[in-house]
Amino acid sequence: MPKIESVDLFYVSMPVVEDISDGSQDALLVRVEAAGEVGWGEAEASPLPSIASWIAPMSHGFCHPICASVLGQTLETPEDIRRINDRVKRRSLDILQTDHTLSGIDEALWDLLGHQRQEPVWKILGYKKSWPKTPYASQLFGLTPEETLKKAKAVVADGYRASKFGWSNFGLGTVKDDADHLMAAREGLGKDGILLVDVGCVFGADVDRAAKRLKALKEARATWYEEPLDRDALGEYKELSRRTPKVKLAGGEGAYTFLMAKQMMDLAGVSFIQIDAGRIGGITPAKQAADYAKKKGVTFVNHTFTSHLQLSASLQPYAGMKDHDLSEYPVELKAVAKAITKNTIGRDKNGLIKAPDAPGLGMEIDVDALKPYLIDVSIKVGGKSLYETPILRK
Amino acid sequence: MPKIESVDLFYVSMPVVEDISDGSQDALLVRVEAAGEVGWGEAEASPLPSIASWIAPMSHGFCHPICASVLGQTLETPEDIRRINDRVKRRSLDILQTDHTLSGIDEALWDLLGHQRQEPVWKILGYKKSWPKTPYASQLFGLTPEETLKKAKAVVADGYRASKFGWSNFGLGTVKDDADHLMAAREGLGKDGILLVDVGCVFGADVDRAAKRLKALKEARATWYEEPLDRDALGEYKELSRRTPKVKLAGGEGAYTFLMAKQMMDLAGVSFIQIDAGRIGGITPAKQAADYAKKKGVTFVNHTFTSHLQLSASLQPYAGMKDHDLSEYPVELKAVAKAITKNTIGRDKNGLIKAPDAPGLGMEIDVDALKPYLIDVSIKVGGKSLYETPILRK
């Protein structure tokens, strides 16, 4: 029976990381090897605490280092991956960082299984076909409505039907300021453009302030209003979802377990659930969330802010769900995130994207391109070396 | 204006850590210094990932190392601590480990403020008096009902009115097995003993299996049924709270933000909210949770599984709430957890405990006793030393 022989974690980073919300400035890559096959995954997580959770000395029975639940395990079937995922979660329950780290490992396990079987992950997950999705380009609102208008026009010129605007100063000024930006975005995208709005939890738990923007969102025909409130404020989301005029809510990127995503769908009144396979604990819980979304009539969308390896991983869980047809598409990646894969998930002649048909996650890791970005890490505890950056190999 | 000059993190551990649920086998201590005053706190967290989150190189604007939001900050008023707490949460939002690490820092800041003002923390929090609480001794169910009976009798002989039984094999065998243990515990505690039951999330999200134990819990007159379900399963808790016979539910130790605790109270139907100041982000959010519990008619209880420093920190947020009068009291601490403080929070002649009247958290750190347990940690990133275990001093 094939056993997991090695798991290597690699911290790669731009030489200079800027204090901006661009999450593609560094990455934690995971390479898994079993019986001659290799799989790669990526955790959308702070690399150093994640590496530390991998090798942290045991604190007690529910605080094992993650490595103790992965190395040496049998890997032959999807059930093996689910078992490993459960095992990690139970035995490392009280290390808060666990689920972020696990995400990269779980993705690599699925990639490896796909290579073993010479099948794409979405097929192993039970789908017959990888359906095309409409990619949306994410960008920040401009500093002025004129700038927002220009940005929206540029995206349309670049062939996108959908665009997400977010963060920047939204919610920090007046309701009128925000309305002006929304109308500018709508004008720039044109009548048929899909306008998505992401405000980065700016209103905390304040439903009233969040609700003041509903009128302008409705007028600008925003398809969704993303993360108006704090990620934990489920009851407040529900309250906001009932306010008029009705605007559909989106959220879920902060969910780091399937059950958190489930509560978001059950209790928070969201119409779109946005799942990052690199955060929720990997493809395993992301697929559970996709299945549950389908059942509940909530639309599943990937959340992806980093490499095309991560994009592929986040597309797999809903690749076969035809009607769930929007996809977050990272367009302005930093060099390190581009260096991760030799190939990319490109737009077809209709401007659509889909999860690759190639085995595993379908992405080829570019080890040579990554080498200049590899960060040397050394962790010693009690005089013993617990982690040294491994050799980066295919 | 007094500024935070230094923050030192110390990892202390038993020489051998056993694979049992006893959380007192290691600890992460935090020492803060500002303008000649010192404060100490403890994070109920895996030490190595927490240290890593303290010094992790920035990944992007919402992934700063925690130290960047604490060092050099003004510390003179409770408002300063709240500001620092908010600042850490916002700027390190995407490091999952953040709130656990922050817990130890926030506790140390309150301790320091208490020393500056020569007042106990509970007084600075606005309470007039530290009311006595009934401590409950926590222990595992026995392997047989006879053993459970013996354990219950021993606790009564030791002067406790209340005892919590938990984990072990509860929920893993038949409903009859569990009922036998519950009746044995009741018999051992006597008619007036307070019986609390903690089953460590054993039923996952399975309300039906959890509900099968309600009858026996009711017959044994359990005051609460703690963590029958997974920590994220809010809707499932609510469903269980409506099943008959009615048994009051307890939970919340997994909450690592105030808003998570709030959802637990708003949406999960719990009657007792159990907050660990060493996990929820410190005394600041624990006090918010206590205020909210009072407003909602939910009973606040500390969750404490480690040292008396942590016990004091977890008592402060509800020290002045007279009617919220139960307290988890750690009775079987490992040597390292005992070594942390010179003094302890003892039971008075009525068998009750309370948050100390001494300044700060009222606990004296035993630096000399701790030294043998100090673990040397060294973390280097990109050839630069980011963390070396500091010198342990008063």
Cα–Cα distance list, A45 to A53, A309, B50, B96 (Å): 12, 14, 14, 8
d(CA B92, CA A281): 19
Q: Looking at the predicted structure, is the pLDDT value of residue B55 above 90? A: yes
- pLDDT, residue B379, reads 98
Whether residue A172 lies within 8 A of chain B, CB to CB, comes out as no
Strand order from edge to edge, sheet including B249-251: B299-302, B272-275, B249-251, B222-226, B194-198, B162-166, B134-140, B326-329
Question: Which residue in the set B17, B230, B266 is minimally distant from A60, CB to CB?
Answer: B17
d(CA B253, CA A237): 23
Longest dimension (CA), chain B: 65
For the segment A79-127, what is each residue's pLDDT rounded down to a tens digit? Answer: 999 999 999 999 999 999 999 999 999 999 999 999 999 999 999 999 9
Q: Looking at the predicted structure, is the pLDDT value of residue A388 above 80? A: yes
Looking at B44-97, list the stretches that DSSP marks H as alpha helix, in order from N- to C-terminal side: 47-55, 78-91
Strand order from edge to edge, sheet including B37-43: B4-13, B26-34, B37-43
Phi-psi region of B126 (alpha: psi -120 to 50; beta: other; left: phi over 0): left
Which amino acid is located at B7 in the chain?
V
Q: pTM above the 0.95 mark?
A: yes
- Token output for B95: 């490091």
- pLDDT, residue B138, reads 87
Question: Average of pLDDT values for A48-64?
Answer: 97
- pLDDT, residue B331, reads 82
- Percentage, residues of chain B above pLDDT 70: 100
Could you give the count of Cα atoms lying within 13 Å of B27 in the half-sphere of its Cβ? 29
For the segment B317-328, what is each residue's pLDDT rounded down to a tens digit? Answer: 999 999 999 999
Is the preceding peptide bond at B245 cis, omega within 30 degrees of 0?
yes
- pLDDT, residue B313, reads 98
- pLDDT, residue A30, reads 98
Angle between helix axes A258-267 and B258-267 (nearest 10 degrees) is 50
What band does B134 get if pLDDT is binned at 50, 70 and 90?
very high
Tell me if residue A382 falls in helix, strand or coil: coil
**How many C-beta atoms lie closer than 10 Å to residue A337's C-beta?**
26
d(CA B283, CA B393): 24
- pLDDT, residue B140, reads 85
Nearest CA among A173, A113, A122, A109 for reference residue A143: A173
Judged by CB atoms closer than 8 Å, whether chains meet at A46 and B63 is answered as yes
Please state, rounded to an integer, the average pLDDT across all residues of chain A: 96
CA A224 to chain centre: 18
- pLDDT, residue A71, reads 98
Whether residue A19 lies within 8 A of chain B, CB to CB, comes out as yes
- Token output for B202: 């054993």
- Token output for A356: 């690759």
In chain A the first and final C-alpha atoms are separated, in Å, by 23
Residues of A in contact with B100 (CB under 8 A): 96
Determine the residue among A48, A91, A198, A230 to mutate to test chain B binding: the one whose Cβ has the most chain B Cβ atoms within 10 Å: A48
When computed from its CA atoms, the radius of gyration of chain A, rounded to whole angstroms, is 21
What band does B211 get if pLDDT is binned at 50, 70 and 90?
very high
Question: Which residue in the set B19, B47, B55 is minimally distant from A61, CB to CB?
Answer: B19
Domains of chain A: 4-120+367-388 (3.30.390.10), 124-339 (3.20.20.120)
**How many C-beta atoms lie closer than 10 Å to residue B159's C-beta?**
11
Nearest chain A CA: its distance from B3 CA (Å): 24
For the segment A207-258, what is each residue's pLDDT rounded down to a tens digit? Answer: 999 999 999 999 999 999 999 999 999 999 999 999 999 999 999 999 999 9
Residues of A in contact with B94 (CB under 8 A): 23, 45-46
For the segment B335-390, what is each residue's pLDDT rounded down to a tens digit? Answer: 999 999 999 999 999 999 999 999 999 999 999 999 999 999 999 999 999 999 99
Nearest chain A CA: its distance from B377 CA (Å): 5
Nearest CA among A335, A330, A360 for reference residue A346: A330
Nearest chain B CA: its distance from A11 CA (Å): 10
Question: Average of pLDDT values for B112-134?
Answer: 98
Nearest CA among B199, B193, B235, B231 for reference residue B214: B199
**Residues in CB range of A14: below 8 A, 6 or more apart:** A25, A26, A334, A335, A336, A373
Cβ pair A70, A98 in contact under 8 A = no
Q: Looking at the predicted structure, is the pLDDT value of residue A168 above 90? A: no
For the segment A352-382, what is each residue's pLDDT rounded down to a tens digit? Answer: 999 999 999 999 999 999 999 999 999 999 9
Whether residue B96 lies within 8 A of chain A, CB to CB, comes out as yes
Burial environment of residue B183 by CB neighbours within 10 A (0 to 12, 13 to 18, 19 or more): middle
What band does A319 get if pLDDT is binned at 50, 70 and 90?
very high
- Token output for A57: 């000395």
Nearest chain B CA: its distance from A221 CA (Å): 29
Cα–Cα distance list, A145 to A142, A193, A224, B286 (Å): 7, 17, 20, 42
Residues 320-359 of B with CB under 8 A from A: none
ipTM of model = 0.96
Nearest chain A CA: its distance from B261 CA (Å): 9
What band does B1 get if pLDDT is binned at 50, 70 and 90?
confident
- pLDDT, residue B317, reads 98
- pLDDT, residue A321, reads 98
Q: Looking at the predicted structure, is the pLDDT value of residue A317 above 80? A: yes
d(CA B218, CA B197): 11
d(CA A360, CA A363): 8
